[in-house]
Amino acid sequence: LQTNKLPLRDRDGKVTGVIGTYEDITDRKRAEKELRLTQFSVEHASGAVEWIDSQARIVYVNQAECLALGRSREEILSLTIHDIDPHFSKETWQTFWNELKTRGSMTFETQHQSKQGRTFPVEVNATFLEFDGQEYCFAFVSDITERRRAERELRLTKFSLENASVGVFWMDPEARFVYVN
Protein backbone atom coordinates (compact mmCIF):
# COMPACT_ATOMS: atom_id res chain seq x y z
CA LEU A 1 0.00 0.00 0.00
CA GLN A 2 1.01 3.54 -0.65
CA THR A 3 -0.35 6.13 1.77
CA ASN A 4 -0.39 9.90 1.89
CA LYS A 5 -1.21 11.72 5.11
CA LEU A 6 -1.73 15.36 5.89
CA PRO A 7 -2.51 16.92 9.25
CA LEU A 8 -6.00 18.33 9.67
CA ARG A 9 -5.77 21.64 11.56
CA ASP A 10 -8.32 23.86 13.21
CA ARG A 11 -8.45 27.66 12.81
CA ASP A 12 -5.69 28.08 15.38
CA GLY A 13 -3.38 25.68 13.55
CA LYS A 14 -3.76 22.93 16.12
CA VAL A 15 -3.71 19.40 14.69
CA THR A 16 -7.12 17.89 15.22
CA GLY A 17 -6.85 14.88 12.96
CA VAL A 18 -5.31 13.38 9.90
CA ILE A 19 -6.56 13.29 6.34
CA GLY A 20 -5.18 10.34 4.45
CA THR A 21 -5.44 8.35 1.31
CA TYR A 22 -4.17 4.94 0.44
CA GLU A 23 -3.73 3.11 -2.81
CA ASP A 24 -3.14 -0.57 -3.49
CA ILE A 25 0.02 -0.54 -5.65
CA THR A 26 0.47 -4.31 -5.89
CA ASP A 27 -0.14 -4.34 -9.66
CA ARG A 28 2.19 -1.39 -10.23
CA LYS A 29 4.98 -3.02 -8.18
CA ARG A 30 4.53 -6.27 -10.13
CA ALA A 31 4.66 -4.39 -13.47
CA GLU A 32 7.77 -2.48 -12.37
CA LYS A 33 9.48 -5.74 -11.41
CA GLU A 34 8.57 -7.32 -14.76
CA LEU A 35 9.96 -4.27 -16.57
CA ARG A 36 13.22 -4.41 -14.59
CA LEU A 37 13.52 -8.15 -15.33
CA THR A 38 12.91 -7.55 -19.05
CA GLN A 39 15.51 -4.78 -19.15
CA PHE A 40 18.00 -6.92 -17.23
CA SER A 41 17.38 -9.91 -19.52
CA VAL A 42 17.89 -7.92 -22.72
CA GLU A 43 20.99 -6.21 -21.37
CA HIS A 44 22.56 -9.51 -20.29
CA ALA A 45 21.41 -11.70 -23.21
CA SER A 46 24.17 -13.77 -24.78
CA GLY A 47 23.20 -12.52 -28.24
CA ALA A 48 23.46 -8.99 -29.53
CA VAL A 49 20.36 -6.76 -29.49
CA GLU A 50 19.98 -3.53 -31.44
CA TRP A 51 17.27 -0.89 -31.79
CA ILE A 52 17.62 1.17 -34.97
CA ASP A 53 15.41 4.08 -36.03
CA SER A 54 14.11 4.86 -39.52
CA GLN A 55 17.17 7.03 -40.26
CA ALA A 56 19.50 4.06 -39.53
CA ARG A 57 20.63 5.61 -36.24
CA ILE A 58 21.45 3.08 -33.55
CA VAL A 59 19.39 4.02 -30.50
CA TYR A 60 20.07 1.01 -28.23
CA VAL A 61 22.52 -1.88 -28.03
CA ASN A 62 23.04 -4.41 -25.27
CA GLN A 63 26.35 -5.45 -23.72
CA ALA A 64 26.79 -8.41 -26.12
CA GLU A 65 26.74 -6.04 -29.11
CA CYS A 66 29.29 -3.76 -27.43
CA LEU A 67 31.61 -6.75 -26.92
CA ALA A 68 31.12 -8.01 -30.49
CA LEU A 69 31.93 -4.61 -31.97
CA GLY A 70 34.72 -3.76 -29.51
CA ARG A 71 33.12 -0.39 -28.75
CA SER A 72 31.51 1.32 -25.80
CA ARG A 73 27.75 1.80 -25.75
CA GLU A 74 28.17 5.58 -26.00
CA GLU A 75 30.37 5.18 -29.06
CA ILE A 76 27.91 2.83 -30.79
CA LEU A 77 24.97 5.12 -30.02
CA SER A 78 26.73 7.89 -31.95
CA LEU A 79 26.84 5.67 -35.08
CA THR A 80 24.44 4.53 -37.78
CA ILE A 81 24.02 1.03 -39.11
CA HIS A 82 26.15 2.13 -42.10
CA ASP A 83 29.11 2.49 -39.74
CA ILE A 84 29.00 -1.11 -38.51
CA ASP A 85 27.61 -2.95 -41.55
CA PRO A 86 29.54 -2.44 -44.80
CA HIS A 87 26.56 -3.79 -46.81
CA PHE A 88 24.04 -1.19 -45.62
CA SER A 89 24.62 1.97 -47.61
CA LYS A 90 22.09 4.76 -47.21
CA GLU A 91 20.29 3.61 -50.37
CA THR A 92 20.28 -0.03 -49.23
CA TRP A 93 18.95 0.97 -45.82
CA GLN A 94 15.93 2.79 -47.24
CA THR A 95 15.02 -0.21 -49.41
CA PHE A 96 15.47 -2.53 -46.43
CA TRP A 97 13.41 -0.26 -44.16
CA ASN A 98 10.51 -0.15 -46.60
CA GLU A 99 10.55 -3.94 -47.00
CA LEU A 100 10.77 -4.47 -43.23
CA LYS A 101 7.78 -2.17 -42.72
CA THR A 102 5.80 -4.13 -45.30
CA ARG A 103 6.76 -7.61 -44.13
CA GLY A 104 6.91 -6.95 -40.38
CA SER A 105 9.94 -9.17 -39.81
CA MET A 106 12.88 -10.55 -41.76
CA THR A 107 15.82 -12.88 -41.21
CA PHE A 108 18.93 -12.38 -43.30
CA GLU A 109 22.72 -12.67 -43.27
CA THR A 110 25.10 -9.76 -43.58
CA GLN A 111 28.37 -8.63 -42.00
CA HIS A 112 29.37 -6.41 -39.11
CA GLN A 113 32.68 -4.69 -38.58
CA SER A 114 34.37 -4.23 -35.23
CA LYS A 115 36.21 -1.08 -34.21
CA GLN A 116 39.45 -2.97 -34.87
CA GLY A 117 38.39 -3.56 -38.49
CA ARG A 118 37.51 -7.26 -38.19
CA THR A 119 34.56 -8.10 -40.41
CA PHE A 120 32.47 -11.09 -39.36
CA PRO A 121 29.30 -12.74 -40.70
CA VAL A 122 26.07 -12.27 -38.76
CA GLU A 123 22.50 -13.48 -38.95
CA VAL A 124 19.95 -10.77 -38.20
CA ASN A 125 16.39 -11.38 -37.06
CA ALA A 126 14.75 -7.98 -37.56
CA THR A 127 11.27 -6.89 -36.50
CA PHE A 128 9.50 -3.64 -37.36
CA LEU A 129 7.92 -2.03 -34.28
CA GLU A 130 6.08 1.19 -33.62
CA PHE A 131 6.31 2.58 -30.09
CA ASP A 132 5.14 5.96 -28.79
CA GLY A 133 4.74 7.26 -32.34
CA GLN A 134 8.27 6.23 -33.37
CA GLU A 135 9.27 3.45 -35.78
CA TYR A 136 12.10 1.05 -34.97
CA CYS A 137 13.90 -1.98 -36.22
CA PHE A 138 14.36 -4.35 -33.28
CA ALA A 139 17.10 -6.82 -34.17
CA PHE A 140 18.68 -9.90 -32.66
CA VAL A 141 22.15 -10.33 -34.16
CA SER A 142 24.11 -13.59 -34.03
CA ASP A 143 27.75 -14.01 -34.99
CA ILE A 144 27.74 -16.98 -37.40
CA THR A 145 31.49 -17.28 -37.90
CA GLU A 146 31.55 -20.76 -36.35
CA ARG A 147 28.53 -21.91 -38.39
CA ARG A 148 30.22 -20.75 -41.60
CA ARG A 149 33.42 -22.62 -40.64
CA ALA A 150 31.47 -25.81 -39.97
CA GLU A 151 29.61 -25.48 -43.29
CA ARG A 152 32.93 -25.11 -45.16
CA GLU A 153 34.32 -28.19 -43.42
CA LEU A 154 31.18 -30.15 -44.27
CA ARG A 155 31.38 -29.12 -47.94
CA LEU A 156 35.06 -30.07 -48.03
CA THR A 157 34.33 -33.45 -46.43
CA LYS A 158 31.52 -34.14 -48.90
CA PHE A 159 33.73 -33.10 -51.84
CA SER A 160 36.54 -35.34 -50.57
CA LEU A 161 34.23 -38.32 -50.19
CA GLU A 162 32.62 -37.81 -53.58
CA ASN A 163 36.02 -37.62 -55.27
CA ALA A 164 37.84 -40.35 -53.32
CA SER A 165 39.69 -42.90 -55.46
CA VAL A 166 38.22 -45.73 -53.40
CA GLY A 167 34.63 -46.66 -52.72
CA VAL A 168 33.15 -45.25 -49.53
CA PHE A 169 29.82 -46.28 -48.07
CA TRP A 170 27.87 -45.95 -44.86
CA MET A 171 25.35 -48.46 -43.60
CA ASP A 172 22.70 -48.18 -40.94
CA PRO A 173 22.25 -50.76 -38.13
CA GLU A 174 19.91 -52.79 -40.38
CA ALA A 175 22.71 -53.14 -43.00
CA ARG A 176 21.03 -50.76 -45.47
CA PHE A 177 23.23 -48.42 -47.48
CA VAL A 178 22.81 -44.85 -46.33
CA TYR A 179 25.59 -43.30 -48.44
CA VAL A 180 27.69 -44.47 -51.34
CA ASN A 181 30.19 -42.28 -53.18
Q: Which of 38-42, 53-57, 83-87 has the highest mean pLDDT?
A: 53-57
Sheet holding 48-53, edge to edge: 58-61, 48-53, 134-143, 119-131, 105-113
- What integer is the mean pLDDT of 21-28? 88
Residue 148, φ and ψ in degrees, nearest 5: -60, -40
At residue 166, does pLDDT exceed 90?
no
Residue type at position 84: I
pLDDT in tens, 89-130: 888 999 999 999 999 999 999 999 999 999 999 999 999 999
pTM for the model stands at 0.70
Give the whole-angstrom CA distance, residue 47 versus residue 68: 9
